[in-house]
Amino acid sequence: MLSALLERLVPASQRRTLDDMVQDLDLSEGDSRAKRSAYWAMLTLSSVIAAGGVITDSTATVIGAMIIAPLATPIMGIALGSVQRRRTGSLTVVVFSCLLVIGVGLLFSVALPESYNLLSNDQVSGRTSPGLMDLVSAVATGLAGALARSRRDVAAVLPGVAIAISLVPPLVVVGVCLGHFAFLPALGALVLFLSNLFGLVYAGMAVFAVVGYGSGGTERPTRRTRVGVTLLFIVVFVPLVANTTITLLVDLWTARARDAAVEWLADTPQASVTGVDAVSRTLRVHVRASGDLPPESELMERLDGEVPKGIPVVVQTTRGQRIDAGVVGD
């Protein structure tokens, strides 16, 4: 059954040879000097492009950097070396590549004023709060990339894989956030990169082993490799689960707060709730009203038991008025 599935996914007529794979993914094989110079040049340029895209909040520029970035090559080299049970130096290349990209982001962070709100930038905020779906997407993208590497006829999908996996932009965001001493967002962006790294390595190892690129046909990776991948999974999985849980809870609490606010304004003519959000542990209720609002104490009574105690509540009106309603549970 496994051989039949393998034949469907990677037909023998389209399967690349092991020598081709090694030449493609191992920078130390063949004309290593030329391969390494091209790799570092492209990585540096893609880092600069990504940093410019992040600083200017330009999605198109960041996508261009994703396509140019060659970082997936040594990462897939780690996967191939693991199933072959041989050292390729790919891990060292990946580590120094990460330091280079983070350094470029750190350098570009000086272009932003100290008062700049990083989370107002979509390129930053979209990469600092990863969840479990990011890990699922990373594994799926890694499978697509490994299959594309293994087959001669689907290499055209590799640019799409480069866009989907997003390796350089999260590292640039790490550098930009570190430059502004925003350590928590930097950690979130680093976790996103590690989840993408895990997705590529794990999926690559699985596909390359099944295809038969291992040192003994379909032989499994070494115990050290399995332990390393497991530890990487734990480092990635735990914060992703925690962040996903927090996100779901915040969504639940804001939905409850919205219902409570709607009930609070039910008897007030021409008044409505336009939105509820949570910012820096503060619950903000956005209200459209042409006249006076009901007493804030009634809103706080409705929120008691619906959201955790100790959360400050602010009512923001469309007229620009800000009302500190109080703290839930006080």
Domain extent listing, the chain: 2-221, 249-327
Q: Is 324 helix (H, G, I), strand (E, B) or coil?
A: strand
- For 153-173, the pLDDT digits (tens) are 776 667 777 777 789 999 999
Residue 51 has pLDDT above 90, yes or no: yes
pLDDT band at 328 (very low <50, low <70, confident <90, very high): confident
What b/e sequence results for 35-71 when a residue is b if at least 16 CB atoms lie within 10 Å of its CB, and e otherwise? beeebbeebeebbbbbbbbbbeeeeebbbbbbebbbb
Pairing of strands 282-289, 312-317: parallel
Q: Which CATH class is domain 249-327?
A: alpha beta
How far is the CA of 185 from the CAs of 57, 134, 136, in angstroms? 16, 16, 21
Angle between helices 223-264 and 183-211 (to 10 degrees): 130
Nearest-CA neighbor of 54 among 9, 119, 98?
119
pLDDT band at 224 (very low <50, low <70, confident <90, very high): low
pLDDT of residue 2: 54
Segment among 44-48, 157-161, 186-190, 273-277 with least mean pLDDT: 157-161
- Helix (H) or strand (E) holding 40, with range, is helix 32-55
Residue 215 has pLDDT above 70, yes or no: no
pLDDT of residue 217: 47
pLDDT of residue 156: 64
Angle between helices 32-55 and 90-108 (to 10 degrees): 30
Global pTM value:
0.81
- Helix (H) or strand (E) holding 263, with range, is helix 223-264
**CB 122 within 8 Å of CB 57:** yes
Using alpha carbons only, give the angle 144, 96, 233 rounded to the nearest 5 degrees: 50
- Tell me which amino acid residue 307 is: V
State the Cα–Cα distance between residues 266 and 262, nearest whole angstrom: 6
**CB 301 within 8 Å of CB 318:** no
* C-alpha dihedral sign at 189, 194, 197, 199: negative
Segment among 135-139, 306-310, 315-319 with least mean pLDDT: 315-319
pLDDT of residue 106: 94
- For 120-141, the pLDDT digits (tens) are 888 998 888 888 888 888 888 8
Residue 108 has pLDDT above 60, yes or no: yes
DSSP labels, 42-88? HHHHHHHHHHHHHHTT-HHHHHHHHHH--THHHHHHHHHHHHHT---
Residue 266 has pLDDT above 90, yes or no: no
Q: What is the mean pLDDT of residues 82-92?
A: 83
pLDDT of residue 6: 63
pLDDT of residue 5: 65
pLDDT of residue 256: 92
pLDDT band at 52 (very low <50, low <70, confident <90, very high): very high
Q: How many CB atoms lie within 10 A of CB 210?
A: 19
pLDDT of residue 96: 95
pLDDT band at 189 (very low <50, low <70, confident <90, very high): very high
